[in-house]
Amino acid sequence: MSEKLNPGMGINPWPINLFERSFFTVTLATGTALMLWLLTSGQSQQTIQVVYFAIPVSVMLLVLCIEKLHPIQRNWSQPRGDTAADLWSLSIVALAMEPLMTAIGPALAVLIVTSIAIPSAFSLFTGMPLWQEALLVILMIDFGKYWFHRASHHNAFLWRFHSSHHAVKRMYLINGFRLHPIYHMSTYMIAILPPMVLGASQEALIMHSVVLGIAGSFQHANIKLQHGPLNYIFSTNELHRWHHSSNIQEGNKNCGAIFSVWDILFGSYHLDLNGEPKNIGLHGEEFYPMNNYWKQLAVPFLWKKWMDEPMARKAALAKSANTNMNTATANSASQE
Ligand SMILES: [Zn+2]
């Protein structure tokens, strides 16, 4: 069922309108500019590390507060048996996998460089100022993420690993982290390793993390915002709600992580500012363990048993009931 939007939408006083139009931009610009300044002004590693940690945590806390004050759908603030799954996934993705990938990523990149005989001193980005290198690296990573995400919606095997991200019935900050660890690791390998192999600096990768951390916190946010023309640059929450529609035609759109330009360029863009998706969730979720995180980890390996076989049994039962009904109708017609 379609859920009601906040009463009063569209008749906001000007400060609310200003907030809705600028909150995302101001936060993104502030966090990005702060980190760029720290990285280019000779600050200590300790300061950089503290701010690197503080930016996403502050943005997440801010978003969590604003979700309570100015939601797009107030009932999305109410748990639906999904909190445990969301928190487990957040803990594993953010607290375990991120440090693990940060630790092994550089070693993997060196291994690849060595095995394909790229000179270790080679860097595609030599001589570029950090802002320029960071922009290129962010675009490269986002391009890789876009295609892997899009492929995961169209390839049945990859979908098994991405489906848990769509097993949410509402949109709010935390369920942006509902990611199968294998999907998360695969995205990392496909999107982040190439620029690392091409010599991206640690500073450029930090800039990517900061931009993704801020943009990603807003993407699932249950906050009423008006992004206007930014919807044609960034993958905003106005766009991403359509990506979580249970209607496949809508759900297979808007695959960009940070930017929506890939969706515009490659024909997967969908925006309807006059409407909202009727349902958030999976298409065909009848047999899917929607709120059980541990079962979701096993879903890709038990897909046939848990999803395909029950669906086939259900289809066979429906077919047989249909046949019986047709036979009964034919018999009663012949008796008339
Ligand atoms: Zn998706």
Per-residue pLDDT of the chain (336 residues), as tens digits, is 344 444 445 578 888 999 999 999 999 999 999 999 999 999 999 999 999 999 999 999 999 999 999 999 999 999 889 999 999 999 998 888 877 777 777 777 777 777 776 666 678 898 899 999 999 999 999 999 999 999 999 999 999 999 999 999 999 999 999 999 999 999 988 998 889 888 899 999 999 999 999 999 999 999 999 999 999 999 999 999 999 999 999 999 999 999 999 999 999 999 998 889 999 999 888 899 999 999 999 999 999 999 999 989 988 998 888 777 777 777 766 655
249 — phi, psi (to 5°)? -60, -35
Helices and strands (DSSP H and E) totals, the chain: 15, 0
Could you give the C-alpha distances from 54 to 26, 49, 90, in angstroms and in order?
A: 17, 8, 17
Contacts of 39 (CB under 8 A, 6+ apart): 48, 130, 203, 206, 207
What is the whole-number distance in angstroms between the Cα of residue 56 and the centre of ligand 1?
Answer: 22
Which residues does 307 contact at the CB level (< 8 Å), separation at least 6? 284, 287, 288, 299
Distance 149 CA to ligand 1 centre (A): 6
Q: 259: which strand partners?
A: 234
- How far, in Å, from the CA of 293 to the mean position of ligand 1? 17
Residues 6 or more apart in contact with residue 201 via CB below 8 angstroms: 123, 125, 130, 133
Supply the pTM of this predicted model.
0.87
Ligand 1 mean position to 256 CA, how many Å? 9
pLDDT at 8: 44
Ramachandran assignment for 284, one of left (phi > 0), alpha (psi -120 to 50 degrees), beta (any other)? left
Give the angle subtended at the CA of 333 by the CAs of 327 and 336, to the nearest 5°.
Answer: 145
What is the whole-number distance in angstroms between the Cα of residue 37 and the centre of ligand 1?
Answer: 34
Distance 123 CA to ligand 1 centre (A): 32
pLDDT of residue 2: 41
Structure tokens at 37: 């300044």
